[in-house]
Structure 1
Amino acid sequence: MSVTFDFDGEVALVTGVGGALGSAAANAFLDAGATVCGADVVEPDSEEFQLADPDRIHFHQGDFTDEDDVAAVVDAIVEEHGRLDYLLNIAGTWRGGDPIHETDASAFDFLFGVNLKTMFLASKHALPHLRETEGAIVSVSARSSLEGGEGDGLYRATKAGVRILTETIAEENLGTVRANSVMPSVIDTPMNREMMPDSDFEKWVDPRDIAATMLYLCSDAASVTSGAAVPVYGEA
């Protein structure tokens, strides 16, 4: 059974749009008819930028750990398009390998900045506009955020923070803005394949499938769903 959504006339902001999942989300919303604004610290002409056709989106370069950058990007989007309907908090990364007693404090600052502060700042500045359109936020948590684990505790903690902030935003905006998170495990990305070359890639989740779930969570089909953390890890 195929499912289609119509987001014509609506505006979505995708953070981390140059990454594998951000690119998939941008394409999903474009295919559904939305105007897509993408933000990333990486410019489209960089080799790291994975969105195949960046000319299809309205790109805004910005460091979303910097509140001034976030405010400027959100203001520019609303000024240009007159509205903001959806925020996809996808900017993030993974770091691990060391136990807590061997982890440098700079790793803490880095992971909490990229994974949690970006989500907080983007949500903070988008919410006033999302309230006007009765829009939605979908953020990226992780399956591993549900419990502690050896070697990547900081990453797990940041993604647990994403879940808690999502639940908080949902509670604070009942009946106005819906907020949900998705919890991937291992996503089938070029970086993950390079890091884990001996793994069974067939069990990993295609970013496009996660993007489809994010699209659903922003749609009217999920109008009664807010504050949820949705598993999107398939067999991974």
Structure 2
Amino acid sequence: MNGKVIVITGALGALGRVVVESAVKRGARVAGIDHAPALTAATDERIELGHVDLTDAAQAKHAIDAAVAHFGKLDALVNIAGGFIFETIADGDIKSWERMHAMNVLTALNASHAAILHLLASPAGRIVNIGAMGALQAGAGMGPYAASKAGVHRLTEALAAEHKGKITVNAVLPSTIDTAANRISMPKADFSKWVTPQELAEVILFLVSDAASAVTGALIPVSGRV
């Protein structure tokens, strides 16, 4: 992975930070994009682009172009930006569905659309999306989130088909990720069964690597020990 340039959205979140650090340790140069403000100054190895609303196509393009301007190329895009809501249909708000679609589908769509031309110029362009095991069969309260992540699955498959032989496009489908926020919201759960951010990062970075050149259009479950 030495020398590869990777854009990671949602880079300042619990999973994003781990993927960024793991990629840098492998010799990649990383541009992190997030809705939150940037925390560190730009270096030769990384740059943070903060205050970016990826639900806005123009802002997504500006951020991707800024990353390419900084590093001179783009080899991979990892779409981690997203959100979660637990809400039943009867007691919930229709706007929750719109919010989940925007946060999970539009962020990945806009970043991917902005990155495609740059990735086509790479000898090994990669896109990795974050889907969800919970989108394979939605449970009670999971409707808005599951529907949006199912959209990410279909986006992944369509992009893979449209760019086969030029860009590989895959998605990882985690179960519950072991983060501080999830531990607080589910204090009685068995945390040892959850997938850790580092475990998920390993799968993501494999899909970015040259070793995964023959893998595209895959929806890969990463379910921990459930």
TM-score surpassing 0.5?
yes
Separation in 1, partners of 2:2, 2:210: 13
The CA deviation at 1:17 is 0.5
The CA deviation at 1:54 is 8.9
- Give yes or no for the alignment of 1:142 onto 2:132: yes
Separation in 1, partners of 2:46, 2:84: 26
TM-score of the superposition, structure 1-length normalised?
0.90
Q: Is the 8 A contact 2:87 2:144 kept in 1?
A: no
- Give yes or no for the alignment of 1:177 onto 2:205: no
Aligned residue number for residue 37 of structure 1: 31
The CA deviation at 1:13 is 0.4
Aligned residue number for residue 122 of structure 1: 111
- The ranges of structure 1 where at least 4 consecutive aligned residues each deviate by more than 4 angstroms after the TM superposition are 53-56
* SS, match of residue 102 in structure 1: coil
Q: Is the 8 A contact 1:210 1:232 kept in 2?
A: yes
- Give yes or no for the alignment of 1:195 onto 2:189: no
Q: Is the 8 A contact 2:79 2:130 kept in 1?
A: yes
TM-score of the superposition, structure 2-length normalised?
0.94
Q: Is the 8 A contact 2:87 2:143 kept in 1?
A: no
Q: Is the 8 A contact 1:188 1:201 kept in 2?
A: yes
Alignment of 1:1-236 (within 5 A): 7-45=1-39, 57-61=46-50, 62-98=52-88, 100-133=89-122, 134-236=124-226
The CA deviation at 1:106 is 1.7
* SS, match of residue 90 in structure 2: helix
Separation in 2, partners of 1:198, 1:97: 20
Q: Is the 8 A contact 2:10 2:81 kept in 1?
A: yes
Equivalent AA in structure 2 for residue 171 of structure 1 = A
Separation in 2, partners of 1:129, 1:153: 35
Describe the superposition over 1:76-99 as per-residue Cα deviations: whole angstroms up to 9, x where unpaired.
Answer: 11112110001000001110132x
* SS, match of residue 7 in structure 2: strand
Separation in 1, partners of 2:32, 2:187: 30
Equivalent AA in structure 2 for residue 216 of structure 1 = F
Separation in 1, partners of 2:159, 2:105: 14
The CA deviation at 1:104 is 1.0
Aligned residues: 223
Describe the superposition over 1:99-146 as per-residue Cα deviations: whole angstroms up to 9, x where unpaired.
Answer: x23321221121111111000000001011101103100000000111
The CA deviation at 1:226 is 0.1
RMSD: 1.6
